[in-house]
Amino acid sequence: MAQRKIYVDIAGGCFQGAKRVPRGYSISVIDWDNLMGDEISEPEWNQLDQETKQFVQDNYPAEYRLIQDSLAASQRERTQAFTRRTK
């Protein structure tokens, strides 16, 4: 049986862990400070599983769009830098 998720949103705080998580559940932490701090954190986003990314998309559409736009811009910058180095 697949585990059900409990989503924990953190902004401006510190998650110390969860106690007494019901059997059959898992915790998924969404740390907004790391995801949307001064820069969008690609490693932080990439460590989220697909189910959690879908949760963010469904429940936080504005934030999801900002994350996707920032990740796309970062990819464009890396591609341009690589192109300049290989010329």
Per-residue pLDDT reduced to its tens digit, 25-83: 998 989 888 888 767 678 889 899 999 999 999 999 999 999 998 888 887 877 777 67
- What per-residue confidence (pLDDT) applies to 38? 66
Show me where the domains of the chain are located.
4-86
- What per-residue confidence (pLDDT) applies to 43? 84
Mean pLDDT of 7-14: 86
**In which element (H, E) is residue 7 found?**
strand 4-10
- What per-residue confidence (pLDDT) applies to 65? 93
- What per-residue confidence (pLDDT) applies to 87? 65
How buried is residue 67: exposed, middle or buried, by Cβ count under 10 Å (0-12/13-18/19+)? buried
Mean pLDDT over all residues of the chain?
Answer: 85
Are the C-beta atoms of 66 and 36 separated by less than 8 Å?
Answer: yes
Q: At 11, list the tokens.
A: 């902004």
- pLDDT band with cut points at 50, 70 and 90 for residue 24: very high
Q: How far apart are CA 28 and CA 21, in angstroms?
A: 12
